[in-house]
Chains A and B, each alone.
Chain A
Amino acid sequence: MEDDYFHSVTLDASLCKGCTVCIKGCPTEAIRVQKGRAWIIPERCIDCGECIRTCPSGAKKAISDPLSLLVHFDYTVAIPAPTLYGQFRSTISCNRILTALKTLGFDDVYEVAAAAEILSQETRDYLGRDQGKGALISSSCPVVVRLVETRFPSLLDQLIPMISPMELSARIVREREKDRPGSVGVFFISPCAAKVTDVKNPRGISLSSVDGVIGIKDIYKELSLAVAQVEVEENLNIASALGISWARTDGEGSAVYSENHISVDGIDHVIDVLENLENGHIRDVDFVEMMSCPGGCVGGPLAVENPYVARNIVCTRERRHQEGNCTVPAELPHLPEGIDLFWTEALESRATHLLDHDYKTAMKMMEEMEVIRGSLPGLDCGACGAPSCLALAEDIVRGKTTEIDCVFKLREKIRDLTREMIALDSHMPPGLDR
């Protein structure tokens, strides 16, 4: 692991006004406002990008790798997410977009949508072998995987232990180019901030085959110009509607073609369904597609086009691929031999909200927390910089802050002091007290 606490989602302190909008929406309570600015608690952040969506000052950003990384490699391959196709009008062909992408400095391209088709088939087979674990959860969204690790560890064994389409694409490219002399660089063209983190600090595998993750928004301008200038479109699009549909909600779910599947998007809905899965309330469902972003990957923080517009474009392309000369392929893209599709490392619970490793100590802390919570106003106003009164109580018990961070508590203290001052003021020294 390169850096355990690396995160794509970061704060631009110069733009942060210290307001408390971001702390409220964070699904893992990973943000606090202190000293006039927001701080992200690295071990809690799952790179979902909710704070990027809600920050009114644009102070939350997703960092990705620059195109300049390409110079470090002798041969470079771009592996674009299917979402890239949703960023350009549907009249612009997939081949045109891929040809233009190549001109930005890549020697070749391989669509992640093609790998997604292979994984659709493999997931279908995997579901066919009854696992006896109840509903299985897709692990293609890196935010969902991290959310399960931190907030729903009891569901870890229901995650499908398969690598993502991005990872599979990179492995296919590496296998193809294994005899090429010199260094080969594989770059994911991404709508997703969590993928940037996932490549540096992957789950389920020890090392990612991807060398860099380039945000769609960072190359969009250059790519748009290149798209306009393409003279001869190369025949680079091998993926069909099946793989392209993974860009949007229910693409994967339908591609896996499980009869009893549900597709969930948006972090709040994802959390709600995970709660229900944990409660054993979701029965008669064998596959759960989960996408942290609204609309699916098209809603990713590194995408440019409005997610609903992008979704429409993706759907139009799917229809065209099904009707036109690019019909659904008779056979799926070829999976070269020797590529492992499964995780090699077990996921572990990352109980980032654990109060203490010792049960009795944790219990004492929780008792204290409840007492403090009872003394707080219960408005969850956020002025203290914590997302709720309970979260402030937790921070106090953890020794990170004190009660007077609460404006109401501060007022109480000032009032008490004032009373004391008035009482003192009315007290005369005995010599003067006639």
Chain B
Amino acid sequence: MNFEYQVTGDDYALVGRASSDIKKKLKQLGIPMGTIKRTAISMYEAEINMVIHAQGGSIHVDLEDEQIRIVLKDTGPGIPDLDLAMEEGYTTASEAARELGFGAGMGLMNIQRNSDSLHIDSIMGVGTTVTILLKIGD
């Protein structure tokens, strides 16, 4: 089954709503704790990225039999250099975002570390689609 969320850009107060909702559902479904934690971290990081860099977008979550697929789509500026963006500590986040504790340049790395697959499609000026896969099971 799948779930759809709309994320508003630059609204730091609401960051994490979609992740919290998915977490609640995973708990109701009896998904193992480790998978829930990995999903929470991955989805939350990706959700923050969308808010900071891309004025929001949509999140599509597919709960399949053996894996969780999270697809985050935005129509933001795009990522100019993916390899650089994946590096630890690299950030283009605004001062305002960093003051709030976001944008430490750990986001993508964290997602990679916690998920089973991370795929990023980005076209400059068009937008970015981030696909995260997580196997169900600890």
Query: A interface vs B, CB < 8 Å?
Result: 151, 153-154, 156, 275-276, 278-281, 349, 351, 353-357, 359-360, 362-363, 366-367, 370, 394
Total cross-chain contacts (CB, 8 A) = 66
Q: Which residues of A contact B59 (CB under 8 A)?
A: none
Given known A363-B1, A363-B63, contact A279–B30 (CB-CB < 8 A):
no
* Complex: A312 Cα to B109 Cα, angstroms: 46
- Are the CB atoms of B16 and A276 closer together than 8 Å? yes
Q: Which residues of B contact A363 (CB under 8 A)?
A: 1, 29, 63
Q: Which of B25, B40, B65 contacts A279 (CB 8 A)?
A: B40
Interface presence of B41 (CB below 8 A): yes
Query: B interface vs A, CB < 8 Å?
Result: 1, 16, 19-20, 23-25, 27-31, 33-34, 36-37, 40-41, 44-45, 63, 65, 101, 110, 114, 136
Given known A279-B16, A279-B44, A280-B110, contact A362–B30 (CB-CB < 8 A):
yes
- Are the CB atoms of B33 and A154 closer together than 8 Å? yes
Q: Which residues of B contact A367 (CB under 8 A)?
A: 1
- Are the CB atoms of B44 and A366 closer together than 8 Å? no
- Are the CB atoms of B28 and A354 closer together than 8 Å? yes
Per DSSP, chain B at the interface is helix
* Complex: A281 Cα to B37 Cα, angstroms: 12
Given known A280-B41, A280-B110, A281-B44, contact A151–B27 (CB-CB < 8 A):
yes
Per DSSP, chain A at the interface is helix
- Are the CB atoms of B36 and A154 closer together than 8 Å? yes
Min CB distance A190 to B, Å, is: 31
- Are the CB atoms of B1 and A354 closer together than 8 Å? no
- Are the CB atoms of A354 and B16 closer together than 8 Å? no
- Are the CB atoms of A280 and B28 closer together than 8 Å? no
* Complex: A153 Cα to B34 Cα, angstroms: 10
- Are the CB atoms of A355 and B34 closer together than 8 Å? no
**11 additional contacts (CB under 8 A) given A279-B19, A353-B24:** A275-B20, A276-B16, A278-B40, A279-B44, A280-B44, A280-B45, A353-B27, A353-B28, A362-B30, A363-B29, A366-B28
The 5 closest A-B pairs by CB, nearest first: A279-B44, A280-B41, A154-B37, A154-B33, A362-B29
Across the interface, name the chain A residue whose C-beta is closest to B30.
Answer: A354
- Are the CB atoms of A354 and B27 closer together than 8 Å? yes
* Complex: A363 Cα to B62 Cα, angstroms: 12
7 chain-A/chain-B pairs, Cβ below 8 angstroms: A275-B20, A275-B23, A279-B19, A353-B27, A363-B63, A366-B29, A394-B28
Min CB distance B21 to A, Å, is: 10
Given known A154-B37, A363-B1, A370-B1, contact A278–B23 (CB-CB < 8 A):
yes
Q: Which residues of B contact A356 (CB under 8 A)?
A: 30
Across the interface, name the chain A residue whose C-beta is closest to B41.
Answer: A280
- Are the CB atoms of B1 and A351 closer together than 8 Å? no
- Are the CB atoms of B27 and A351 closer together than 8 Å? yes
Q: Which residues of A contact B65 (CB under 8 A)?
A: 359-360
Q: Which residues of A contact B33 (CB under 8 A)?
A: 153-154, 156, 349
